[in-house]
Amino acid sequence: MPMEIKIKRIDKTLPLPKYETAGSVGFDLICRESAEIAPNSIVLIPANVIVETPPGYMLMVCLRSSTPRKLGLMMPQGVGIVDNDYCGEEDELKIQVYNFTDEVVHVEKGSRIAQGIFVRVDTAEWNEVEQMTTPSRGGFGSTDR
């Protein structure tokens, strides 16, 4: 059964995000404005929606798999993590993109370059110890010997 999510569109001439197929895990986010991204620069593109993510979830924002190949854009941090309390009147989702090409990239209003995925999360309660009891695996990168 789908979750009911509160959402507000900034520009009501653009459609709500939607899952493109019955098997889609992510819903497409739409660019509210056209953007020009200079070579080797980072730009925030407004995604036209404010989303109230339910408690116990986060909203993960990723580029669509075709965006790097088609446009030469990637997310500089890999993914965007949206906390569930980022849902006030000024909290429009933004798609952070990095132009890794040597040319200016144009993104048109209404383009679908990113997607959102709701991910169940929990918070940790720390139990600090003086020593770990599990044997060491050998440190960072130890399985690539």
Domains of the chain: 6-122 (2.70.40.10)
Query: Buried b vs exposed e over 8-39: b needs ≥16 C-beta within 10 Å?
Result: ebeeeebeebeeeeeeeebbbbbbbeebebee
pTM above 0.85, yes or no: yes
Of 46, 49, 39, 61, residue with least CA distance to 16: 49
Per-residue pLDDT of the chain (145 residues; tens, 9 = 90+): 788 999 999 999 999 999 999 999 999 999 999 999 999 999 999 999 999 999 999 999 999 999 999 999 999 988 999 999 999 999 999 999 999 999 999 999 999 999 999 999 999 999 999 998 988 877 777 676 6
Task: Give the pLDDT of residue 145.
Answer: 62
